[in-house]
A = this chain, B = another copy of it.
């Protein structure tokens, strides 16, 4: 997909205390002191982060809420209730999306179609997650203190929102091309090892993007995957190498970047917040200040549920790719 007039006006990121202490702490717009965020439940805190991210990106860009045509996004909770409940507060239309941790890339892709196809002027793309809501929904009660697998990742707490517009004035960067991914399944059944499940999806979508566009890895300053983690990132580099595309020196993973080693997240961050908060902080900053001229963002998602795992199914995965180019 080619987009001619899709501009990123601004981005906003809100994260939890653990994310603040990580490698990218100084880049985030807002950091919670406590991951309950003054609410009665972690779920309500997650919902509040969504509203904070939407309000944040609007304020940062001087855009009144009434100017936003549509919000596109979702989260990891059953029935994407964080995004849906947050949207009660706004008069914009809402298009709920779910591609697991690839939801943020999906929202940028569909948001770019709404702007690029001249259906809308201003849209907000958003996703997020919360360690404590995801952990108790997908894995174990928090109080149980279960030992984590060394191949596991840590669901990031945060929410990231991007304002897309058809107006080039004061834009930070442009979304120029994209490839929607297909569902791949290499038979991984270890639900802790999401990186291994998602790496083939990222490879498939990247190869398709390079094939469709004729672009090469050397055309980009960085290729950011969403949340493959350290192991998954290594697997992707190997898979790409096997396809004759060496991306070792270009490949960075939002999940692998997020935390410090001493934070004991094992393979790094994951969750629908991961690529959303890294894109809307570190990546947009670098595109604005000239550090990057052109990057790829490859959002990755593992499309399982607790029910499918209990029924013995493997983990299907997906990845969506976007080309983002600095405006300066």
Contacts and interface: CB of A to CB of B under 8 A. Distances in A.
Nearest to A136: B307
Contact of A113 (B77, B119, B137): B119
Interface string A92-116: 1111111110010010011001101
Given A78-B307, A311-B43, A316 B85 contact: yes
Contact of A183 (B87, B118, B184): B87
A181 B307 contact: no
A233 to B, nearest CB: 23
A74 interface: yes
A81 B304 contact: yes
A303 B98 CA distance: 14
Interface string A291-326: 000000000000111111001010010100000000
A176 interface: no
B116 A81 contact: no
A316 to B, nearest CB: 5
Contacts of A81: 303-305, 307-308
Contacts of A44: 311
A5 to B, nearest CB: 11
A239 interface: no
Contacts of A318: 84, 94, 96
A225 interface: no
Given A98-B98, A117-B113, A93 B308 contact: no
Interface in A210-249: none
Contacts of A167: none
Given A95-B99, A180-B70, A306 B119 contact: no
A286 interface: no
A98 B70 contact: no
A55 interface: no
A263 interface: no
A33 interface: no
Given A95-B110, A183-B94, A119 B307 contact: no
A100 to B, nearest CB: 7
A282 interface: no
Interface string A167-196: 000000000000111111100000000000
A262 interface: no
Given A88-B185, A95-B180, A117-B119, A79 B305 contact: yes
Contacts of A114: 113, 117
Interface of A: 1, 41, 43-44, 70, 74, 77-81, 84-85, 87-88, 90-100, 103, 106, 109-110, 113-114, 116-120, 137, 179-185, 303-308, 311, 313, 316, 318
24 contacts: A70-B180, A74-B98, A78-B305, A79-B305, A80-B303, A81-B308, A85-B308, A85-B316, A87-B183, A88-B184, A88-B316, A90-B182, A90-B183, A92-B182, A95-B106, A95-B180, A96-B98, A96-B303, A97-B97, A113-B113, A113-B117, A116-B117, A117-B119, A137-B307
